[in-house]
Amino acid sequence: MSGFSIALTTIDTQDNADALIALVLDARLAACVQASAVVSHYVWRGERKREPEVLLQMKIRTADWERLRALVRERHPYETPEIVRVDIAHGDADYLRWIGDVTG
């Protein structure tokens, strides 16, 4: 394992996404956050839902995961937000070094 991960969350509006991105970057918990408009289809409390959301992909040091997870959980408007981590098995050494430099 490389020691780096991609953390994912979805959020309801671009304004809320921008606010969360600012918190994460200012705390140096991610080197880069990509925001993409998506449409999520899911089941919530027995009902099928379809909602526009913003998907955030955050490039992080795995060591920062718990701090990032706690920050997202605290500031997220959803009752049960998606907060997941995908570990990077392999990545370009220069790119991973940059993540470490920006967040470390």
Residues 6+ apart with CB under 8 A from 35: 14, 17, 18, 21, 54, 55, 56
Assigned token pair, 41: 């289809």
Q: What was the pLDDT predicted at 104?
A: 80
Q: What is the pLDDT of residue 1?
A: 64
- Token pair recorded at residue 29: 């918990």
pLDDT one digit per residue (tens) for the chain, 104 residues = 689 999 999 999 999 999 999 999 999 999 999 999 999 999 999 999 999 999 999 999 999 999 999 999 999 999 999 999 999 999 999 999 999 999 98
CATH code of the domain made up of 4-103: 3.30.70.120
Give dist(CA 53, CA 30) in Å, integer. Answer: 20
Domain range summary for the chain, segments of one domain joined by +: 4-103
d(CA 90, CA 92): 7
| pTM for the whole structure | 0.94
Q: Is residue 30 within 8 Å of 7, Cβ to Cβ? A: yes
Number of neighbours of residue 30 by Cβ within 10 angstroms = 23
Q: Supply the pLDDT for residue 2.
A: 80
Dist. CA 88–CA 74, nearest whole Å = 25
pLDDT at 23: 98
The helix or strand, by DSSP H or E, that contains position 85, with its residue range, turns out to be: strand 84-87
